[in-house]
Amino acid sequence: MTRTPVIVGGGSWGSALATALQAAGQTPVVLVRNAETVRLLATGRCRQLADLPPVSPIRATTDPAILGEAGLVFLVVPVSATAAALAQVVQHAGSPDALVLCAKGMAMTEDGAALMPELAGSLVPKLPAVILSGPSFADEVMAGLPAAVTAAGTDEAAVATVQDSFAGSHLRVYANTDPLGVAIGGTMKNVIAIAAGCAIGLGLGDNARAAIVTRGLAEMARFAAAAGGATDSIYGLSGAGDLALSCAGPHSRNMAYGLALGRGETPDQRLAEGRHTVAALAARGRNLGIDLPITNGVDQVVNANAPLQQVVADLLARQAGRE
């Protein structure tokens, strides 16, 4: 039986990954929740990327039995839906060569909040989990434009399988053996992008944005080192790369969220993954005993209704230490 790549989730990133796999000569199937999405993908279109011209037809189904044929399973669902998707995989999948988690954030659990490698290790410890993360706007990938991401896992054979599945496509996949560090990079960059958006929205200029990006990267590295990840991962695609992309402009949902805050507007609460993650990151930072001034500042603004101008003033009043 042919081992099929199955993508759980037919939103923008799931559809984009399907096109990249097709470009590599694969025949992916997208598992979705409703027949209308099946019909739309069959025309080469994605509802969330309606402005793009149609691509090659994408095969989709609503039947989770397709997971039984999966050689690779890509979970491309929101962070809040990842645990349920993992349960579906356990119920229907056989023994895939790799379980690829694509969400960037922390999932709420009975014990608090878990990064994606931690969640997979808890719920599906026998499956070879791989984190796929990096600077990759879905519309550009679906349009066939080049991009590069990281596949990270402790099972090097599983990582190689993921890497090989995209060989020859416009999506370059680099291997990494530090899933925790890669997940931290993809999670924290969303929070730093909110801060960068706030700075631009307040009219503080590009110098301030550059300072936030650079000092935010330092926070990400401190967090990774304290949590057991590798700081090298933070300076790679999933950290510095994704941070640079997310802070470049309003194409990034997290940057757009921060821009709205800085302009005194009410942002769409659904826009930004960082808005839903920052409290858990700040709490983990306190538990680890590390200094995360930008992360804590964003947490105060979005979760404690702290005045943005005052939070900025407090950050600027901090004693500058060694770089």
Residue pLDDT, tens place only, 127-141: 999 999 999 999 999
- Percent of the chain scoring above 90 in pLDDT: 91
Res 1: pLDDT: 37
Query: Is 323 part of any domain?
Result: no
b/e for 116-125, b at 16 or more Cβ within 10 A?
bbbbbbebbe
**pLDDT tens digit string along 184-199?**
999 999 999 999 999 9
Which is catalytic among the residues 45, 92, 104, 189? 189
Same-domain status, 164 and 199: no
One-letter amino acid of 307: P
Do 168 and 196 fall into the same domain?
no
Q: Which of 144, 177, 210 is the last residue of a domain?
A: 177
What residue numbers bound the domain in which 137 lies? 4-177
Q: In whole numbers, what is the pLDDT of the chain averaged over residues?
A: 95
pLDDT digits (tens, 9 = 90+) for 81-111: 999 999 999 999 989 999 999 999 999 988 8
126 catalytic, yes or no?
Answer: no
Predicted confidence at residue 3, as pLDDT, reads 74
Query: Which pTM value belongs to this model?
Result: 0.95
Chosen domain end from 126, 160, 177: 177
- Same domain for 297 and 199: yes
Count up the domains in the chain and report the number.
Answer: 2
Tell me the average pLDDT across 171-188: 98
Same-domain status, 204 and 126 = no
Whether 225 maps to a domain, the answer reads yes
For residues 195 and 82, membership in a common domain is answered with no
Calculate mean pLDDT across residues 15-37.
97
Tens of pLDDT, residue by residue over 249-296, are 999 999 999 999 999 998 877 767 888 899 999 999 999 999 999 999
Give the 3-state DSSP-derived string for the chain, with helices as H, strands as E and coil as C: CCCEEEEECCCHHHHHHHHHHHHCCCCCEEECCCHHHHHHHHCCCCHHHCCCCCCCCCCEECCHHHHHHEEEEEECCCHHHHHHHHHHHHHHCCCCCEEEECCCCEEEECCEEEEHHHHHHHHCCCCCEEEEECCCCHHHHHCCCCEEEEEECCCHHHHHHHHHHCCCCCEEEEEECCHHHHHHHHHHHHHHHHHHHHHHHCCCCHHHHHHHHHHHHHHHHHHHHHHCCCHHHHCCHHHHHHHHHHCCCCCCHHHHHHHHHHCCCCCCCCCCHHHHHHHHHHHHHHHHCCCCHHHHHHHHHHHCCCCHHHHHHHHHHCCCCCC
User: Tell me, what CATH number does 138's domain have?
Assistant: 3.40.50.720
**At 297, which CATH number?**
1.10.1040.10
Say yes or no: 99 and 230 in one domain: no
Note whether residue 237 is domain-resident: yes
Residue 109 lies in a domain: yes
Residue that terminates a domain, selected from 128, 153, 177: 177
pLDDT above 90 for 233: yes
φ/ψ of 136, rounded to 5, equals -160, 90
